[in-house]
Amino acid sequence: MAVLTARRALAGATLALLVTLIPGVTQAATPEASGGSGAHGAPGPGLPVFTSTGAIVDPLDDTLPHNPNQEFIFPSVFHAGAHLSDPLGEWYVYYAPHDDPGGINLMYADSLDGPWTQYEGSPVVANQWEGIYDVPHVSSPDAVWNAAERKMYLYFHGDNTVTRYATSTDGVTFDYGDEAVTTEMVDAAQPGRHATETSYARVFPNPDRSSADRWAMLFMTNYDTNVRHINLAYSRDGKDWRVEPEPIITPGPAEGTNVSAADLWRWKGKDYIVYGSTVGTIFARQVDRTLTEVGEPEPLFIPRPAPPEAGRASSPQIVTERGRTHLIYEYGERSHTTIGHAVLDPDGVRDPLNTRPEDPMYAQCTGAGSDELDGVALDRTLWSTSVRGPLDRSVVADGAWRIPTYTGNSTSAPLVLQPVPETPWEVTTQVTLDPQVNFQQAGLIVRRDDANSVRVDISHVDAGKRFDFVWRNNGVDRNNSWTAEDSALAPPETGDTVWLRITNHGEWLTASYSVDGATFVNLGRATPAGQLAATDVGPFAYRGPAATPELTAAFDWIRFTPDTEELAGCG
Q: Can you list the residues of the chain whose pLDDT is less than 70?
A: 1-45, 349-352, 480-484, 571
User: What DSSP line would sit under 297-347, residue for residue?
Assistant: -EEEE---SSTTTTT-EEEEEEEEETTEEEEEEEESSTTS-EEEEEEE-TT
User: Does residue 503 sit in helix, strand or coil?
Assistant: strand
Sequence-distant (6+) residues with CB within 8 A of 53 are: 113, 340, 341, 342, 343
Residue pair 254/14 in contact (Cβ under 8 Å)? The answer is: yes
Count of residues in the chain: 571
In the beta sheet, which residues pair with residue 221?
198, 229
Alpha carbon distance 19, 31 (integer Å): 7
DSSP state of 186: H
Alpha carbon distance 73, 52 (integer Å): 17
Looking at residue 482, what is its pLDDT?
56
CA distances from 356 to 143, 351, 360, 520 (A): 42, 10, 5, 12
Q: b/e for 161-191, b at 16 or more Cβ within 10 A?
A: bbbbbbbbeebbebeebebbbbbbbbbbbbe
Alpha carbon distance 352, 34 (integer Å): 12
Three-state secondary structure of 70-139: CCCEEEEEECHHHHCCCCCCCEEEEEECCCCCECEEEEEECCCCCCCEECCCCCCECCEECCCEECCCEE
How are beta strands 175-182 and 91-96 bridged, if at all? unpaired
CA distances from 363 to 393, 498, 561 (A): 28, 16, 10
Question: Among residues 207, 185, 199, which one has the least CA distance to residue 289?
Answer: 207
Three-state secondary structure of 480-492: CCCCCCCEEECCC
User: Does residue 19 sit in helix, strand or coil?
Assistant: coil
> Is the backbone peptide bond immediately before 123 cis, with ω within 30 degrees of 0?
yes
Residue pair 275/39 in contact (Cβ under 8 Å)? The answer is: no
The helix or strand, by DSSP H or E, that contains position 282, with its residue range, turns out to be strand 282-287
Looking at residue 559, what is its pLDDT?
97
Write down the number of H helices and E strands in the chain: 4, 39
CA angle 278, 282, 287 (to 5 degrees): 110
Sequence-distant (6+) residues with CB within 8 A of 192 are: none
Residue pair 484/227 in contact (Cβ under 8 Å)? The answer is: no
DSSP state of 42: P
The backbone region for 566, taken as left when phi is positive above 0, alpha when psi lies in -120 to 50, beta otherwise, is alpha
How are beta strands 406-407 and 536-544 bridged, if at all? parallel
Alpha carbon distance 298, 412 (integer Å): 42
Burial class (CB in 10 A: 0-12, 13-18, 19+), 62: exposed
Looking at residue 58, what is its pLDDT?
96
Sequence-distant (6+) residues with CB within 8 A of 564 are: none
Within 519-563, where are the H helices? 529-532
Strands (E), 367-496: 367-371, 385-387, 395-397, 400-404, 406-407, 415-419, 425-432, 441-449, 452-461, 464-473, 476-477, 487-489
Alpha carbon distance 18, 512 (integer Å): 11
Tens-place pLDDT, residues 443-491: 999 999 999 999 999 999 998 999 999 999 999 999 765 556 788 889 8
Domains of the chain: 38-344 (2.115.10.20), 367-569 (2.60.120.200)
Residue pair 544/436 in contact (Cβ under 8 Å)? The answer is: no
Question: Among residues 539, 563, 568, which one has the least CA distance to residue 442?
Answer: 539
The helix or strand, by DSSP H or E, that contains position 569, with its residue range, turns out to be helix 564-569
CA distances from 72 to 129, 280, 496 (A): 21, 16, 41
